[in-house]
Structure formats: structure tokens, C-alpha cells
A and B are shown apart, each in its own frame.
Chain A
Amino acid sequence: MARPRSRRGGQTRDGWVLMLPVVVLLGLFLVAPVLMALWVSVSDWRGNGSPFGGDVGFVGLENYRQILAGGGLAERDFGTSLRNNLFYVVLVVPLQTVLALLLAVLVTRRSLRGRGFFRTAFYFPSVTSSVAITVLWLFLFSTSGVVNKILGWVGLNGPAWFQDPRGVLHLLLGAVGVDRAPAALGEHGFLGITWWDWVAGPSVAMSAFVLMAVFTTSGTFMLLFIAALNNIGDEIEEAGLIDGANAWQRFRHVTLPMLRPTLFTVLTLGLIGTWQVFDQIYTGTQGGPAKTTLTPAYLSFQSAFVNQRWGQGAAIAFVLFAIIVVLTLVQRWALSEDRGSRGERARAAAVRAGATARRQGGGVTGGAA
């Protein structure tokens, strides 16, 4: 197999030459800015002149300390923004994934008339600018807006959505009579805010953003699921049918396991997207009311561009980056093939084997238990 060395060397060189434009572009527009930001996050640069100027000093991890253990406003703001975004992620990612899958299954059904129309309709919010959608949302969810009108028809008095800083979980707890912090939660905390505040849940304002995110991104992920569903051959579905599995069993034990790679992609993209939410906040609420829609991405922008704390802004961005990487790794581990339930995989494998056997002209011998 070994080729003459010189020829291989030539190939390597050609390879590098062909890759050069991309390497240069990535280096210039990705690696260099990231390294610059990394430097800013450990420097005392205050946004005046070049960050590599002579008067800019190295301060080590001081900026990180300020936001993670500074004990001041910077830490409290960062804690608050993490809390807000955590609830946003926890709600948006599962909801949008389930909805996207549901829509994809619905619009790939042969029996559905006008599938093209529905696909376009569901995908439409994804191609609309997030700024336009945010403005639309502000109208829909204003105090006298459409949403509250509709709630009014069924006798509900809708909240002042984007002005309401009350946490949803606090509201629920309040409904059952728990309206102040138990001592254990009220006195201790993490990142400058008490545990009681950590469990406040998304504010009413943030909930409106959650609904918006689910509305806009489900369409995009629906497309991914449609592509994956189209890749699953009809014969597999047929095999399940012949083996006597009902619609739910076929979906749960045949289709879903085969969508695993797509599911991983959708969850990962969802996770990354939701941790970086910015445009909606910038256009909609600027972090208000009472900082309950503040997110790390927006806080990073605000620290740097508004408060001239560029080091802290960059540090927030890197902490956010670390959170996203760690969570993605955790998720990859959780969804990896080895960790799937064994019985489930065995069943799927058996169905696949049966389908293969039939396709190859064999008799109906294989079958799911």
C-alpha cells in the first residue's frame, strides 16, 4: 500500500495549499478574535484604544473572580443571568425538540393532504428575523394584547407579560401557601443569589420568551427530523406492522431509536442556541423587568459596551462557553449508544434484521419479541 514518499509529500503540500484560504480566513476571523478576547478577559483593558497598548495590564483571573466570587453586583448579576437562562434552557430544549418531532411525524404522513403547505407554514417562523418576531411578540403579549384578550374569553385575567418579574415557580408555591423563603433556602445561596431566588422559576416575562423560542425554532428542527424520517425505509415500518406492533410501538421502538443521531444534533443545537439567547432580549426587554430576562450573553454585552467593563464581559463569554461545552459533553454521554437500554436496542435490532431478511427474499422468520 505504501506509496513513494515524494509523491505523498507533494500531496500533503497540495492539500495545505488548497486549504490555505480556509485556514487563513478561520485564523483571521475566528482564532485571532478568540485569542484577543481571551487576553481581554485576563486584562484590565477598559475599552479605550488597543487592548495590546502599553497601558493595559495583566490581572490574572481577577475578572473571573469578580463574576464568580466577587461578592458584589457583578457576581449577583451573573448569578441572576445564569438562573434566568437555566430555566429558559430547561424549558425550551425539551419543548422545541418534542414539538419539532411531532410536527415532522405529522407532515411526513402520506395521508396528510397539502403537506407542502404545512411544512412551509411550520418552517416560516424560522426564516423570519428574530427581531421582527420579537416585536410581534411584544404586541401579542402586551397587557391589552391578543393573548390576554383570548385569556379573557375564558375568564382569565392575563398578566402584564413582559412587565411581570414574578417567578412562575414562586407563583405556584404562593398558590399553595408558600410565599416566603424557608430558612434553609433564604439564608444560603450560590453566586450571590439565595437558593430561594434560584428556584423562582422563569419570570412571567421570560415565559413569554420561552414560548417564542419554541415557536420560532421548532420549524428548523422539524426539517432535520423530516430528513431523518425520510431516510428510514418504508420496509422497516412495514416489518413492524407485520410483526403486529401498533402505531405507538412502531414509533417508540423502531422510529425513535433510528432517529438517535438526529436527536443528538437537535438537542445539541438547541442547547447551544438557548444558552446564547441575545437578540430577543436586546430587542425586547433589555434584561428587565427586575433583571429577570437578563442572560449571560446579554450581560456580557452590557458589561462591555454599556458599563465599559470589557474584561468582565469577555470573562462572562468564556464561562458561558465552558458551560456549553460541558453540557454538550454530558449530553453526548447520556445519549451515547452504549447507554441506551439494552432491551430496546435488541428489539430494534431484531426488527431491522427481520426487515433485511425479508428484503433479501427470505421468509418471515425474524420478529420482534
Chain B
Amino acid sequence: MSRNRTSLASVAAAACAGLLTLSACGGGSGFDDGGSSGEGGGDGKITVLIGSSGDAETEAVEKAVADWSQESGTDAEVTVASDLNQQLSQGFASSNPPDVFYMSTDQLGGYVENGSLLAYGDQLSNADDFYPNLRQAFTVDDEFYCAPKDFSTLALWINTEKWEAAGLTDADVPTTWEELADVAATLKQGKQPGLAFSPEYQRVGAFFPQAGGAMTNEQQTEATVDTPENEEALDYVQRLLEDGSAQYSSTLGAGWGGEAFGKELAPMTIEGNWLVGAMQNDFPDVDYTVAELPAGPQGKGTLAFTNCWGIAESSPEQEQAVDLVEKLTSAEDQAAFAQAFGVIPSVESAAAA
């Protein structure tokens, strides 16, 4: 790492000088004068823009960034966005983007195309420590753009009380599609379904890999939505919905699966790690257990959700920003994040620790 740093520093300094000249030129048009004097503009301060799931996440990120600030002697400020997409694109459009920010996989394409993102992934000393599929999610045209900050996967959440009330035991936790259909039917009571989840691809799609399907081929170059495997998965979900053992959370009057689960409108749901925080805050009295999603005809499968730490290509503090991200993705920091708001670390070494 230290050997890397010197060459990197000179490159960054050159880029920085180049950028300052550019922004000074751009200022002449009269519309983006704020660019060179704003928060992100070369005053040595790092701005971090995050979209937070709640106080726990905000505090954890603020603490980690403050620690780094103290160690490195560089000022850094964390801002919580109320609308991350909008604030981020406004920042870029006005030549005054935050230095470091959350970037989602579905936004990545647009920002890569318009040249906003610094492809710094391979500069990280822990670049090879990330899980390969997470790394893949933020790699465009063989360039590893940004470091996955953590990830979350879907699981089956079970309301303990209702589970026991229906005469089910730990041995009944479903491990196959058939078993899931059986327990859902058992747990169904009148209009109340056994299982509820949000009406969106991000939940229903979890059944695709279990049936051996996917939305794209492995190289992510071709859409493979209309395969027999996906059809099988959708048929299965449709069957559950038709006989009433499963229902969409919206039908139950809940905004998402977690709400339906917390309000005890359904004894089972398919949700991600983030539900831990929601249950703690909003529904502390509901006891639950979490199980792996049951396996389909082609084995186990789930969906993973991830964000990365984006760094602005035009950031004048790129070197510092990369340094900050390296700390934020270290096994130690990620373990703290996992503790604070229930995400799964994106580096393999954190799992070993």
C-alpha cells in the first residue's frame, strides 16, 4: 500500500491541478461559480453524502468518519440526504459533488456513462478481499469502479408466537418449496395469509435462482427473463397467492413486507437484514426467528442488495477519499456497521474474524 501511495499522490495532485484549472475555466460561463468555492472545492475537506436507514446507521457512519478524520487530520463531514438520487445528481450538475457518497447498483450505469465516477476499486489495498459477486456488481467494462460498502440478503422471517400457536416446531422450518407451501397453508387463518411479501421483483425474484433462473446471463450481457426456469418460479409464487397461503403486503394494507410482519398481519415474510432495525424500533414486542430461504428445484438461492462508496471523478481530494473508503471498508469498520445496523460485511476477512 505505501508503495502505491506515492505514485498515487502525484497522479492525484496532477489531476487535482488539472481539475482546478477546468473549474476555473468553467466558472467563466457565469452559471457554476459556486463550483470552485463550495464545500467540495479543494479546501481540503471531505464531504460524505449518505442515504441512511435510520439513526443507527447515521451514527455509525458519523463515528467511523470522525475516527478517520482524527487519524488523518483531514476534516470530513457526513450529510444525510433526504433524497440521495436528487442531491447527488444536483451536486454533479453544479460541478460541486460530494467527495464520497452511497451509490446503488441501479444508479451505477448512468453515473459511469457520464463520467462522474472515479474508478478507484483496484487502488484499494483490500481490493481482493471483497466477495467476487459484489465486486462484479460494481465492475463496468472490466473497471472496478467502487468498493461495495456491505450487503444484505433476503431471508424467511417467522413470527415465533404464531408459529408455535399453529403447533409448528423448529423441525418444521421449511427447507424446500413444498415445505414452504405446507407451512404457509398451515399458518393461514381465514383472511390472514401464512406468508406476505412486497409486490415487487426484489422479493418475487428471490424464487428465480432457486428454480435455476436469473434476469440476465452470467456475464450480464443478455437478458434471460423469459426462461422456463423463471416461469416455474413465477408459477410457484402464483400458486401460493391463488390459494391464499401467501399475499402481497399491499393487499393487507401494509407498505412493505416488514410492516405486514411487524403488525402481525402475516406470520411469515421474505425480507432483508434491514428488518432487524425496523423490528427493534417499531415492533419491539414481536418475537421472531430468521431462516434461510427454502431451496427450490435447483437448490438454494436468494437476492443480495448492495451499495458502494462512490468517489467523484472531479473530487479534488481523491487520495484522501480513497483512504477514507479503505478505512470504511476495513473488516474492523464493517464489523462495527454490522453490529450497528445489521448489514453483512462485504469483505471476506470480516467473516473470518
Question: Which A residues lie at the B interface, using CB under 8 A?
Answer: 36, 46-53, 142-145, 160, 162-163, 289, 304-310
Whether the Cβ atoms of B26 and A49 lie closer than 8 Å is yes
A32 to chain B, nearest CB (A): 8
Residues on the B chain within 8 Å of A309, using CB? 110
Given A36-B31, A53-B26, A143-B250, answer yes or no on A46-B107 (Cβ-Cβ < 8 Å): no
Give the segment of B84-92, B173-181, B215-223, B293-301 that binds chain A: B84-92
Among A289, A305, A309, A310, the most chain B Cβ lie within 10 Å of the Cβ of: A305
Whether the Cβ atoms of B113 and A308 lie closer than 8 Å is yes
Among residues of A, the one whose C-beta sits closest to the C-beta of B252 is A143
B277 beta carbon closer than 8 Å to chain A: no
Q: Render B183-200 as a binary contact track against A, CB cut-off 8 A, 1 for contact.
A: 000000000000000010
Residues on the B chain within 8 Å of A304, using CB? 89
Whether the Cβ atoms of B85 and A305 lie closer than 8 Å is yes
Question: Which B residues lie at the A interface, using CB under 8 A?
Answer: 22, 26, 29, 31-32, 35, 85-86, 89-90, 92-93, 95, 107, 110-111, 113-116, 199, 248, 250-253, 313-314
Whether the Cβ atoms of B85 and A306 lie closer than 8 Å is yes
List 9 additional contacts besides A53-B26, A306-B89, A307-B110; criterion CB under 8 Å: A47-B92, A48-B114, A48-B116, A48-B314, A49-B26, A49-B314, A52-B26, A143-B251, A163-B199
A282 to chain B, nearest CB (A): 9
Q: Which of A46, A50, A142, A289 contacts B253 (CB 8 A)?
A: A142
A153 to chain B, nearest CB (A): 17
Instruction: Jot down 29 A-B pairs with beta carbons below 8 A, ordered by A.
Output: A46-B110, A46-B113, A46-B114, A46-B115, A47-B89, A47-B116, A48-B92, A48-B93, A48-B114, A48-B116, A48-B314, A50-B26, A50-B31, A50-B32, A52-B26, A52-B29, A144-B253, A160-B250, A160-B253, A162-B250, A305-B85, A305-B90, A306-B85, A306-B89, A306-B110, A307-B110, A308-B110, A308-B113, A308-B116
A304 to B93, CA, bound (A): 10
Residues on the A chain within 8 Å of B252, using CB? 143-144
A162 to B90, CA, bound (A): 30
Q: How many A-B residue pairs have CB under 8 A?
A: 71
Whether the Cβ atoms of B199 and A308 lie closer than 8 Å is no
Among residues of A, the one whose C-beta sits closest to the C-beta of B114 is A46
Q: Which of A50, A163, A305, A308 contacts B29 (CB 8 A)?
A: A50
Among A47, A145, A306, the most chain B Cβ lie within 10 Å of the Cβ of: A47
Residues on the B chain within 8 Å of A306, using CB? 85, 89, 107, 110
Residues on the B chain within 8 Å of A36, using CB? 31
Residues on the A chain within 8 Å of B115, using CB? 46, 48
A144 to B259, CA, bound (A): 14
Q: Which of A47, A52, A163 contacts B93 (CB 8 A)?
A: A47
Whether the Cβ atoms of B29 and A310 lie closer than 8 Å is no
Residues on the A chain within 8 Å of B110, using CB? 46, 306-309
Whether the Cβ atoms of A308 and B26 lie closer than 8 Å is no
Among residues of B, the one whose C-beta sits closest to the C-beta of A309 is B110
Residues on the A chain within 8 Å of B22, using CB? 49
Residues on the A chain within 8 Å of B116, using CB? 47-48, 308
A310 to B35, CA, bound (A): 19
Whether the Cβ atoms of B253 and A310 lie closer than 8 Å is no
A53 to B86, CA, bound (A): 22
A192 to B244, CA, bound (A): 36
Among residues of A, the one whose C-beta sits closest to the C-beta of B107 is A306
Q: Which of A52, A145, A308 contacts B31 (CB 8 A)?
A: A52
B4 to chain A, nearest CB (A): 27
Given A47-B114, A52-B29, A52-B31, answer yes or no on A308-B250 (Cβ-Cβ < 8 Å): no
A289 to B198, CA, bound (A): 12
Among residues of B, the one whose C-beta sits closest to the C-beta of A164 is B250
A289 to B111, CA, bound (A): 26
Residues on the B chain within 8 Å of A310, using CB? 93
Residues on the B chain within 8 Å of A163, using CB? 199, 248, 250-251
A305 to B81, CA, bound (A): 14
B262 to chain A, nearest CB (A): 15
Residues on the A chain within 8 Å of B248, using CB? 163
Residues on the B chain within 8 Å of A142, using CB? 253
Given A144-B252, A163-B199, A163-B248, answer yes or no on A49-B89 (Cβ-Cβ < 8 Å): no
Residues on the A chain within 8 Å of B90, using CB? 305
Whether the Cβ atoms of A49 and B92 lie closer than 8 Å is yes
A196 to chain B, nearest CB (A): 21
Residues on the B chain within 8 Å of A307, using CB? 110
A145 to B253, CA, bound (A): 8
Whether the Cβ atoms of B86 and A305 lie closer than 8 Å is yes
A46 to B93, CA, bound (A): 8
Whether the Cβ atoms of A305 and B89 lie closer than 8 Å is yes
A306 to B92, CA, bound (A): 12
A336 to chain B, nearest CB (A): 41
Residues on the A chain within 8 Å of B199, using CB? 163, 289
Whether the Cβ atoms of B95 and A49 lie closer than 8 Å is yes
Given A145-B253, A160-B251, answer yes or no on A50-B89 (Cβ-Cβ < 8 Å): no
B22 to chain A, nearest CB (A): 8
A47 to B90, CA, bound (A): 8
Residues on the A chain within 8 Å of B86, using CB? 305
A52 to B31, CA, bound (A): 9
Q: Which of B89, B253, B313 contacts A308 (CB 8 A)?
A: B89
Residues on the A chain within 8 Å of B93, using CB? 47-49, 51, 310
Among residues of A, the one whose C-beta sits closest to the C-beta of B88 is A305
A202 to chain B, nearest CB (A): 19
A143 to B265, CA, bound (A): 13
Residues on the B chain within 8 Å of A143, using CB? 250-253
